[in-house]
Chain A
Amino acid sequence: MDTVIDNHAPTAAPAPWGRVRRSRYLADRVLKIACTLFTLLGAFVLGWILLMLLYEGIGGLSPAVFTETTPGPGTQGGGIANAIVGSLVLTTLGIVVATPIGVLAGTYLAEYGKGSVLATVIRFVNDILLAAPSILIGLFVYILMVQPMGGYSGWAGGVALAIIAIPVIVRSTEDMLRLVPGSLREAGAALGAPMSKVIVKISWKAARAGMVTGVILATARIAGETAPLLFTALNNTFWFSPTLMGGVSNLPVTIYQFALAPYENWRELAWAGALIITMSILALSVVARLILRKDRVR
């Protein structure tokens, strides 16, 4: 439709107005070209970053990357196995803590609270937390957990990541539940189902795909977070303790430390890690979109 209307008058119409028409035509042209160029620029930067990661990272990818632990200063070889596993553990911990809280809070906003003052305030606060600087969440968890517990720990890292994930899940859960038609709920209530059953069996079921998408997007968001881990899980060049006390090695902080290091093998590992983490996150984001789209089509 746009395209039909877009091929409009300036070129086709007769020109009794002379210069006026010309300047209108020019402004239109400039707008169209500029907007197209800006969009190309955005795509170009994404492509450039991905190509950089492939170019720098693929050479460093070897089996050792996935089997050996991070090397100490000045030692040769090594891998980032402990950092990869550590990141998986911390991200899982974060998402396991965040999902029930986020889903229930989103449910409160969409099903119980709705337009009440409390719900409005919580919605407002949640939107602010959604964009709040992640480094401040790291500081908060440092004071909350690291200081009282007497040291860095994976638990603190997991909680910091959970705090970042919760607003994402709350927002997506609420948005998805709001899309469920009220008549479905009323039908359930008319059959005598109590509120909790209507929510669990009807609303959640209808909004399932969207809610799963929200959780996946939250996972993608926290998997690459560096700033909140700096003061909570810190890092570690060895396998971390099974109790998750002490520093827990993780990919983002390892990349941060290794990328700026003077050792050649550290930098190679940083690039390999950067490639792995970015590709995983982009894959998660794309999968989340596909799930939602498939649901919409159906």
Chain B
Amino acid sequence: MAVLSDEIIVSNNMQPVRRRTSPVFDQGFRWASYGSALIVLAVLAGIIGTMIYGGWPAFQEFGFGFVTSSIWNVGGEQFGAWVAIAGTLTSALIALVIGVPISIGIAIFLTQLCPSWLRRPVSTVIELLAAVPSIIYGMWGLFVFAPLFANYVQVPLTNIVEGMPILGTILYARVPSGVGMLTAGIILAIMIIPFIASITRDMLDQIPSILRESAYGIGCTTWEVVRHVLLPQAGVSIIGAVMLGLGRALGETMAVTFVIGNANRLSLSLFDPSSTIASRIANEFNEASGLHMSALLALGCILFVVTFIVLALARLLIARVKTP
């Protein structure tokens, strides 16, 4: 006890002036962090506000017909969003159909099959896929993937399905250039894989290992453990991860702009060029004015509402990773 108080005296002698935090700083710090947190809210409100404000003239001019009309005539000032909306939904859906099984497969590989020394490097490689800029995916898609896709998939497939019912429409390439809806969907699938895979991996990791080990203990195969124990346990969270991937796919811009072909045309063929909301905004906004600009902002408004709903669902479904 005595020793302790000696030390305090010594240290007091060495630093005679005790630094006090002023109450003003303490309160200021609290308000600064409070204010910064409110900025996050303000940004979201600002985005919604500007989209509605900017898109209002278009909504007023065309009413509900803006959503259902597929005419997009810049010169004639006739604007309808349907082609872009359909393109956005279709490309995102293709991305999910291709990307979700692959993502879940990667997550299962990382958590169940991978030897522990390989786990970290493989995880890093998959996560780095998310770090590659969108524009690089666009260049890869347009200059490398599209020509290969045209030569080795579109041309042979078109020859096979020509004249067949249904397939002859869906998989028929009028101009086998490699760009189009399916290419955009494939590129989007690759881009959303790291997001879905890493959340699914975290969710599978959180499942108590006793469950897994019990299942193996009664003689289940890995497939049965995955199918009957892991997936049901993680179920809702995986749907949340898929929704998050969907949100990303809906709003992805640059990569899609490179490979979708940017045509305002409704087509039943997956090989035909089309547009998405984001690609249309990226292509036309800088040259737009008046009603045209307003129509693009209205498109942005629709995109925001859709992604907001999807991401909000994702957020509600993914049980946040618990911290100890």
Q: Is the CB of B254 within 8 A of A256?
A: yes
A187 CA / B132 CA spacing, docked (Å): 43
B29 within 8 A of partner (CB): yes
Contact among A3, A48, A52, A126 for B40, CB-based, below 8 A: A126
| Interface hit among A60-68, A73-81, A107-115 | A107-115
Q: Which chain A residues in 1-46 approach chain B with CB under 8 Å? A: 2-3, 5-6, 8-10, 24-25, 27-28, 30-32, 34-39, 41-43, 45-46
Contact among A46, A104, A144 for B36, CB-based, below 8 A: A104
B125 within 8 A of partner (CB): yes
Q: Is the CB of B21 within 8 A of A286?
A: no
The 0/1 profile, CB within 8 Å of A marked 1, for residues 200-220 of chain B is 000000000000010010010
| Interface hit among B3-11, B41-49, B150-158, B171-179 | B41-49
Q: Which chain B residues in 293-318 approach chain A with CB under 8 Å? A: 296-297, 300, 303-304, 307-308, 311-312, 314-315
Given A49-B136, A278-B132, decide whether A31 and B226 contact each other with a Cβ distance below 8 A. yes
Closest to B55 in A: A139
CB B139 to nearest CB in A, in angstroms, measures 6
Residues of A within 8 A of B128 (CB): 46, 282, 285-286
A9 CA / B312 CA spacing, docked (Å): 44
CB A185 to nearest CB in B, in angstroms, measures 15
A289 within 8 A of partner (CB): yes
Interface band, chain A: 35 or more
Given A43-B122, A49-B136, decide whether A122 and B311 contact each other with a Cβ distance below 8 A. no
A133 CA / B194 CA spacing, docked (Å): 17
Q: Is the CB of B33 within 8 A of A24?
A: no
Q: Is the CB of B311 within 8 A of A31?
A: no
- The size of the chain B interface, using a CB distance under 8 A, is 95
A175 CA / B131 CA spacing, docked (Å): 20
Q: Is the CB of B311 within 8 A of A42?
A: no
Q: Is the CB of B285 within 8 A of A170?
A: no
Closest to B216 in A: A5
Q: Is the interface of A mostly helix, strand, loop or mixed?
A: helix
CB A30 to nearest CB in B, in angstroms, measures 8
Contact among A41, A142, A199, A252 for B133, CB-based, below 8 A: A252
The 0/1 profile, CB within 8 Å of B marked 1, for residues 109-147 of chain A is 101110000110110111111011111110110111000
Q: Is the CB of B40 within 8 A of A125?
A: yes
Closest 3 CB pairs of A and B: A133-B251, A224-B133, A38-B105
A–B complex contacts, Cβ < 8 Å, 5 sampled:
A49-B140, A143-B50, A194-B26, A252-B135, A252-B254
Which residues from chain B sit less than 8 Å from chain A, CB to CB? 21, 23, 25-26, 29-30, 32-41, 43-44, 46-47, 50-51, 53-54, 101-102, 105-106, 108-110, 112-116, 122, 124-129, 131-140, 142-144, 190, 193-194, 197, 213, 216, 219, 221-224, 226, 244, 247-248, 250-254, 258, 278, 281-282, 285-286, 296-297, 300, 303-304, 307-308, 311-312, 314-315, 323-324
Which residues from chain A sit less than 8 Å from chain B, CB to CB? 2-3, 5-6, 8-10, 24-25, 27-28, 30-32, 34-39, 41-43, 45-46, 48-49, 52-53, 56, 100-105, 107-109, 111-113, 118-119, 121-122, 124-129, 131-137, 139-140, 142-144, 163, 166-167, 170, 175, 178-179, 193-197, 199-200, 220-221, 223-227, 230-231, 234, 252, 255-256, 259-260, 270-271, 274, 277-278, 281-282, 285-286, 289
